[in-house]
Structure 1
Amino acid sequence: MNGKQLKNSILQWAIQGKLVPQDPNDEPASVLLDKIRQEKERLIKEKKIKRDKNASIIYRGEDNSYYEKILATGEVKCIDEEIPFDVPNGWEWERWGNISQSIQYGYNAPALEHGAIKMVRISDIQENCVLWDNVPYCQIEENDIDTYLLKVNDILFARTGGTVGKSFLVEEVPERAIYAGYLIRTRYSSLLNSRYMKLFMESQLYWEQLKNGTIATAQPNCNGKTLAKMLLPIPPTKEQDRIVGKLTQLSSFLNNYTLYQERLNLLNEEIKEQLKKSILQEAIQGKLVPQIAEEGTAQELLEQIKAEKQNLVKEGKLKKSALATSVIFRGDDNKYYEQIGSEVTEIELPFEIPNSWSLARLNAVCQLTDGLKTIGKQCLLDARFLRGKSSETIAEQGKLVHKGDNIVLVDGENSGEVFIVPQDGYMGSTFKQLWISSSMYEPYVLAFIQFYKETLRNSKKGAAIPHLNKELFYGLIIGIPPLQEQKRIVQKIELSAQLLK
């Protein structure tokens, strides 16, 4: 359970009456709601607020069902299907509109650098705080100010956009301020604990009701009617205070829990990455699976690869430079040597390999190619599309690659990253096609390149636009096992990856 899930659970316990014990000596919430109704009647008579034509009373009948009576018409209906859970004795269910004195939309005006009154916008509210220094001023007629004026314990509610439903409890107003049009202000009876009201607006019950009342458009939005219709559980006044006090006590624990959980998650991810690297390292050193003598040696694979490349050069599918490879062998003195033409040089290996393996530079088994230039409409396979960060773009011409082909980023910060093409299309301009000899087991070669991903990324050339260091790429020494062993190695890597999920 992460920090957010734990907080949601605690809020759920709070609004269900399970966070603190009930006290039978508390004045029941029914008395509190009667006082709120009397308070509203007084404010209506004083013409400070308007009468709500949808005002209602919710009560429990003798049959134990919940009913709602609309005061203006006398209409009564059963609302059992709306009640999400039972609440303790002494609690009541109520509509937000019945306890609210006003639900007022914000004021629309241009933001100004100077003026007589500030105007709080959605963007000025960050992490449950108003960044008052950033709040602009606005122009408003003096006789309109009272309608939009912010007071301590008001709750602001975002009614549109990506933050729809987010709420903010006004705990201070350092200077006169109103609020902007994308916000709704709800002002409720002072007999209610403002922090209890705010915690309800963070609960899953609140968000579920909001979701049901949100209009799904390009810019999701919600209105004051949705808020007014919301059902919320009302505890006795003293229990509201105890709930808020308990949550205040738990807040530091929750913050620490979230922090430690994030650190643990990060550590787990780091451990997983290190294990993956260790598994790949074991794989390319021949330590992941046992060698089987009956599978032979890899020397004949190198001969097959050489013959395949010669044929592809003749067909014009590979450049002649693809044949310019070296031979790496172990001498009688048990040291390793590399022969290029007639020149033989002793080399240091980054790791030991089994006797049945052969060694080669990476350019012996794979090559970077440009792809086939083609005309006709095809999907553009650039990095953003391949990562699922952009929608399909159609190009009129380009370098055609096919589903299942491998392409390598050769420009940009992630140079050396390999993608398996998901569909036919034109590869992006920052890619090269990766040819891998059919004599090799392709996933084995890709696993080898994956092991050196960080090395390739950290060895880019160029300042303004970094490029893949092709000399380093082609020069990597790859251990070549017999073909069947390559397949067993990849199978082991894939099994390990499943266990690490």
Structure 2
Amino acid sequence: MYETGKQLLDRIIEEHNAKLLADWEEAKKKNPKAKKPTLIVASEIAENEIPFEIPKSWYWCRLGDLVPFGQCVNAEPTEIEDNAWILDLEDIEKDSRRILQFKTKKEVESKSTKHIFKKGYVLYSKLCPYLNKCVIAPKDGYCTSEILPLDFGNLVNNKYAQTFLMSPYFVDYTNSLSFGVKMPRLGTEDEKKAMVPLPPLEEQEEIVKIVEELLLLCETLVE
């Protein structure tokens, strides 16, 4: 018997809260008046919000319940080594999950603040969401502030998260709420409210396996 999506969500939130409290305890060592964090509580979802039917073992939740969406750690140019990987929007191919090129700070002469990411993070472009630019980091690096590094941890398969973020369902959602004419983007709060179907972890892995097989087949047919 698999752990259900609801049980998995409870564990995810429990881990997030444990980290928040651990970080708070560390902060109190430097500042005894450090403010206690607000613990995460699973979002309430009304019946009329559910977009489609899912298996009974799955569970509807919100994106903000699964990952600290929009909470990024930044680095100033002076803090980044010359040989560090810098990822810009133009380095990601639309719709394909591919990174087109790898550049170092020295090569791009970057002078702007960057988001820090680690290997395995899902890197999602919040700018022009219809371009559907989303990749998984193959190594540590830094990215433009228009890309959000998302750490889904060990309880959500990062490739399942990527598949969801690139799905027609989510792209339609982002396009319907994006603002701005020339460079449309979706606000952080709207992103956090997005409804996510959460399968048990074992089923996430099966879904990823099938998706990868289908993508490989598509590439073969194109060639």
Q: Same fold (TM over 0.5)?
A: yes
Is the counterpart of residue 169 in structure 1 residue 156 in structure 2? Answer: no
* Aligned match of 1:149: 116
Shift of 1:163: 5.9
Secondary structure at the aligned position of 1:181 is classed as: coil
Is the counterpart of residue 27 in structure 1 residue 3 in structure 2? Answer: yes
* Aligned match of 2:42: 57
* Aligned match of 1:128: 97
Identify unmatched segments of 5+ residues in structure 2: 28-35
* Aligned match of 1:79: 46
Distance in 1 between the 2:7 and 2:158 partners?
18
* Aligned match of 2:62: 95
Distance in 1 between the 2:199 and 2:62 partners?
14
Shift of 1:214: 0.5
User: Amino acid of the residue matched to residue 84 of structure 2?
Assistant: I
Segments of 4+ moved more than 6 angstroms = none
Instruction: Specify the structure having the higher radius of gyration (Cα).
Output: 1
Give percent identity, aligned residues only. Answer: 20
> Residues 90, 105 of structure 1: CA spacing in aligned structure 2 closer, same or farther, 3 A cutoff?
same
Distance in 2 between the 1:162 and 1:233 partners?
20
Question: Which of 159, 180, 188 matches 1:195?
Answer: 159
Shift of 1:122: 0.7
Shift of 1:199: 0.6
Question: Which of 180, 198, 217 matches 2:181?
Answer: 217
> Residues 26, 160 of structure 1: CA spacing in aligned structure 2 closer, same or farther, 3 A cutoff?
same
The correspondence of residues 313-462 of structure 1 with structure 2, limited to 5 A, is none
* Aligned match of 1:206: 170
The correspondence of residues 241-320 of structure 1 with structure 2, limited to 5 A, is 241-257=205-221, 259=222
Distance in 2 between the 1:181 and 1:108 partners?
11
Aligned partners of 1:164 and 1:222 also within 8 Å: no
User: Amino acid of the residue matched to residue 212 of structure 2?
Assistant: T
* Aligned match of 1:186: 150
Distance in 1 between the 2:201 and 2:189 partners?
26
User: Amino acid of the residue matched to residue 4 of structure 2?
Assistant: P
* Aligned match of 1:39: 15
Aligned partners of 2:85 and 2:103 also within 8 Å: no
Shift of 1:132: 4.9
Shift of 1:153: 2.1
Shift of 1:220: 1.0
Shift of 1:221: 1.6
Aligned partners of 1:155 and 1:168 also within 8 Å: yes
Secondary structure at the aligned position of 1:149 is classed as: strand
Distance in 1 between the 2:164 and 2:38 partners?
23
TM-superposition CA deviations, 1:302-323 (whole Å, max 9, x none): xxxxxxxxxxxxxxxxxxxxxx
> Residues 160, 179 of structure 1: CA spacing in aligned structure 2 closer, same or farther, 3 A cutoff?
same
How many positions carry a matched residue from both structures? Answer: 206
The correspondence of residues 8-19 of structure 1 with structure 2, limited to 5 A, is none
Question: Normalising to structure 2: TM-score of the pair?
Answer: 0.77
Question: Which of 213, 229, 235 matches 2:193?
Answer: 229
Distance in 2 between the 1:160 and 1:251 partners?
25
* Aligned match of 1:426: none
Distance in 1 between the 2:184 and 2:172 partners?
15
> Residues 164, 185 of structure 1: CA spacing in aligned structure 2 closer, same or farther, 3 A cutoff?
farther
Question: Normalising to structure 1: TM-score of the pair?
Answer: 0.37
Secondary structure at the aligned position of 1:232 is classed as: strand
Shift of 1:248: 2.2
User: Amino acid of the residue matched to residue 115 of structure 1?
Assistant: D
Aligned partners of 1:184 and 1:224 also within 8 Å: no
Aligned partners of 1:120 and 1:180 also within 8 Å: yes
